[in-house]
Amino acid sequence: MINGKLAICVIGSGRAGMIHANNFAKNVPGTMIAAVVDPVEEVARNSANELGIDTYYLTHEQALENDKIDAYVVVSPTKFHVDIVEAVASQKKHIFCEKPMAMNEEECERMIVAARENHVKLQIGFMRRFDAGFMHVKEIIDSGEIGDVVMVRSNTRGPSIPRPWMYDIRKSNGPLAEVNSHDIDTMRWFTDSEFQTLYAVGGNYRCQDAKEEWPDFYDNVVMAASFENGMQGLLDGAQGVGYAYDAHVEVLGTKGSIQLGSLEGQRLVICNSESKMGKYPLVDSWRGLFKEAYLNEDIAFAQAILKDTPVKVTGYDGKMAVRVVNAGNTSIIEKRLVKI
């Protein structure tokens, strides 16, 4: 604690890292941003300057020497998550880890065990669970307004071309991890069930420079799934679409449907057998779309520490999403149905 506030260090000063860092610096009650970490010194220094702090580090090991820090937000590339989280947990510090949680289930389990054995919080960054629109959809589902859920369809399409390191899906886990982890978690959340079988197809349509060296890379993916409770799922994901950040979800029930999101923003439409319909206010961009969700999940993480209550998105949730990512990549590469 510093001046009676939770001291937070953010590891990784990219776009997502700085969203969290600014939240803890300005908007999360009872917290302060104490330090940032980035291996590129200029990036680390500029990030610290933006946040109005003097402390930055080039490695997480250096940051862990600061005994005044209470919790660490891990926003590094996925392949580094397990080592960082285990190191932080060993120092009895709390952890917020961005999605994707890790590269495989074994790494996820190591992270869960490290947090449990050291009695620290571990929250995973599925911020859609804290978004007002998505939370409202979940409330409508649970109310029975559209009957029993039959199918959840979720899509996320990112506008930018992936970075070159993402082309090797054995190191990045591909778009299913980097882009569509949120869709996978949303499908688990809205069905209240686990994936049972899936079949995925992928293709590279926009990243021609990756085709020769990385023939397995895909920038477009479609996945059909069944769940343990009999519900169905469809996932539609893409990178490099250029036109917009395009995220929306549809829930089909026995008595109606819910549609959330459009290119215009966070629009909500509800249709049931009585022809009820409604709309949410529109949002201009993805930054506006999930700005409050990022803040709400950071507040929830801080409150879990301050009040010693369970986190709302657990390591188990992160591990289940990674399980589906790995199974989806297997399905794409081996061109077969995968039973989970």
Q: CATH number of the domain that 331 lies in? A: 3.30.360.10
Domain-located, residue 240: yes
> Which ranges in the chain belong to alpha helices (H)?
15-26, 41-51, 60-63, 81-90, 105-117, 132-143, 169-172, 174-178, 181-191, 286-307, 315-334
pLDDT of residue 268: 82
- Nearest CA to 240 out of 285, 186, 265, 204 is that of 204
Tokens representing 133 are 């629109």
105-117 and 81-90 helices, crossing angle to 10°:
10
Q: Is the pLDDT of residue 242 over 50?
A: yes
Mean pLDDT of 266-286: 63
**Band of pLDDT at residue 287, cut at 50, 70 and 90:** low
Residues 121 and 170 both lie in one domain: no
pTM: 0.92
Summarize pLDDT for 184-220 with one digit per residue, the tens: 999 999 999 999 999 999 999 999 999 999 999 999 9
pLDDT of residue 283: 41
Domain-located, residue 1: no
Helix (H) or strand (E) holding 195: strand 195-203
Residues 258 and 303 both lie in one domain: no
Residues 48 and 122 both lie in one domain: yes
Residues 282 and 303 both lie in one domain: no
Q: Is the pLDDT of residue 60 over 70?
A: yes
Q: Is the pLDDT of residue 288 over 70?
A: no
Summarize pLDDT for 126-183 with one digit per residue, the tens: 999 999 999 999 999 999 999 999 999 999 998 888 888 889 998 899 999 999 999 9
Domain-located, residue 167: yes
pLDDT of residue 282: 42
Average pLDDT, the chain: 93
| % of the chain residues with pLDDT over 90 | 83
Tokens representing 159 are 């506008």
Residues 154 and 84 both lie in one domain: no
Domain-located, residue 142: yes
pLDDT of residue 276: 58
How far apart CA 13 and CA 315 sit, in angstroms, is: 23
Summarize pLDDT for 8-39 with one digit per residue, the tens: 999 999 989 999 999 999 999 999 999 999 99
Mean pLDDT of 210-231: 96
Structural domain that includes position 148: 131-286+320-339
Residues 89 and 178 both lie in one domain: no
Q: Is the pLDDT of residue 2 over 90?
A: no
Domain-located, residue 140: yes
pLDDT of residue 275: 58
Residues 27 and 51 both lie in one domain: yes
| % of the chain residues with pLDDT over 70 | 95
Residues 335 and 305 both lie in one domain: no
Residues 181 and 241 both lie in one domain: yes
Split into its structural domains, the chain has a count of 2
Domain-located, residue 19: yes
Residues 199 and 136 both lie in one domain: yes
Residues 14 and 79 both lie in one domain: yes
Residues 84 and 149 both lie in one domain: no
User: What CATH number is given to the structural domain containing 19?
Assistant: 3.40.50.720
CB 277 within 8 A of CB 269: yes
